[in-house]
A = this chain, B = another copy of it.
Amino acid sequence: MNSYTEYLTLNVPHRMEFVNITPQVNVALLNSHIREGLCLVNAMHITASVFINDDESGLHADYKHWLEKLAPFDASAETYAHHRTGEDNADAHMKRQIMGREVVVAVTRGKLDLGPWEQIFYGEFDGKRPKRVLIKIIGE
């Protein structure tokens, strides 16, 4: 069994944004020389996500609107107890749970075994700072 580890750093200039990181994961897979196995991609920060969905800007706008409705930003400590610590990002911790922390993608014949529209995204919910994404590939 072989394994390969890589860390990406993303610095998103907005509070909430989605970044297609499929190209970076493809490069990591090439570097790994693994042809059959599993590829884990996860956010290393707890107000960010890695998820798989469509690369369509209208859908991304819909996701933002929807997540804001389900878990609204509100800096007050009356609304969110987490803010008594000085933070203002409780909403980001919730948005991240809906969108998920990680994806596991099959590696088949040296390629990410993705469906026709599947693209891997980094989801930022409390941006304007550098955050890391972990890529771990194991297999043969």
Contact = CB atoms under 8 A, between A and B. Distances in A.
A97 B98 contact: yes
B104 A102 contact: yes
Prevailing SS type, chain A contact patch: mixed
A115 B85 contact: no
A90 B113 CA distance: 24
Interface residues of A, number: 59
Given A5-B106, A94-B66, A113-B134, A61 B46 contact: no
Given A58-B85, A104-B104, A115-B44, A1 B53 contact: no
Contact of A93 (B53, B70, B93, B94): B53
A31 to B, nearest CB: 15
Contacts of A138: 36-38, 138-139
